[in-house]
Chains A and B, each alone.
Chain A
Amino acid sequence: MTADADPSGEFIQRNPAVHPPAHTPNYRFTVLRSPRNALITLHNSLSEVTAPSFRREDLGAIDNDLIMNYAKDGLPIGERIIVHGYVLDELGRPVRNSLVEVWQANAGGRYRHKKDQYIAPIDPNFGGCGRVLTDANGYYFFRTIKPGPYPVRSGSTTDWRPAHIHFSLSGDGWAQRLITQMYFEGDPLIATCPIVQTVPSEEQVRGLIALQDPSAFVTLDSRAYRFDVVLRGRRATWFENRIQGAK
């Protein structure tokens, strides 16, 4: 049994050692995005410790079914998979009602986006984006088509991005928000991907790789992958000599 986080508590300091450095030229977008100035650590204010709350009624009934949510006159092509897992904070507490947004390429490695000119075709029955709220245990799941790898230019050479799904997770406060990517167990492209390589810790890279989960396979339908996510935790509230709610 875990105690609920104090909703007004400040978030634990982020550990920069487990995140990519802001400026990593091999991941070219970071050149545009990285700050030039040294960062200043401030106390959390209301704008960091709070966040919009999302209601189940705000989401469509099949928002977490990427196989069906853009299907027109057929089903999308590719391997049918389920992705599921728990969203926890750093103290192991479930993060409830976290909005989990996902977007990805189709089975051929093509995004449904006007700037994607890769030769692989667009799948008319696949949009490649969806969303789901975590439940009372921090659990989420969605159904989709396994995305394909795709090439990206890297100077005069070409890199191949491993198959991946983009994740954006909200939490109880904006300071908890996390944008990351999920990779698939066994993909040989993970080891050579310049974006994956920006993560300094091998253990953290392993945390970005979803493991195949046969226990959640759907017979004659879908395989499953398990992907747990840890968001920043709030500082615990102490009651006398113990954390409030702890026995």
Chain B
Amino acid sequence: MPRQIKMLAETASQTAGPYVHIGLAPQQAGFIHLQGVAETVFFDL
């Protein structure tokens, strides 16, 4: 009989979302455009 394993819910992401991380290839992710993004990523309101 498989044992039930209690799972905790992963904390929700905010700011960058789950798809943006170090090593992401932006073109592969299909970003709409990249102009100016690098300047705004840090200063995230």
Q: Do the two chains bind?
A: yes
Docked complex: A27-63 residues within 8 A CB-CB of B: 29-37, 39, 47
How many residues of chain B have a CB within 8 Å of chain A?
A: 33
A19 touches B12 (CB 8 A): yes
A231 touches B12 (CB 8 A): no
With A229-B11, A230-B8, A232-B10 as given contacts, are A35 and B16 in contact (CB-CB < 8 Å)? Answer: no
User: In the bound complex, what is the Cα–Cα distance between A221 and B33 (angstroms)?
Assistant: 48
State which of A20, A113, A174, A180 has its C-beta within 8 Å of the C-beta of B42.
A113
A33 touches B16 (CB 8 A): yes
B17 touches A207 (CB 8 A): no
A35 touches B23 (CB 8 A): no
State which of B10, B31, B43 has its C-beta within 8 Å of the C-beta of A35.
B31
**Interface membership of B4, Cβ < 8 A:** no
Docked complex: A74-101 residues within 8 A CB-CB of B: 88-92
Closest-CB distance, B33 to chain A (whole angstroms): 7
State which of A47, A116, A178, A205 has its C-beta within 8 Å of the C-beta of B43.
A116
The residue of chain B having its C-beta at the shortest distance from the C-beta of A183 within the complex is B14
**Interface membership of A68, Cβ < 8 A:** no
A208 touches B17 (CB 8 A): no
Docked complex: B20-45 residues within 8 A CB-CB of A: 20-23, 29-33, 37, 39-45
With A32-B31, A32-B37, A113-B42 as given contacts, are A18 and B7 in contact (CB-CB < 8 Å)? Answer: no
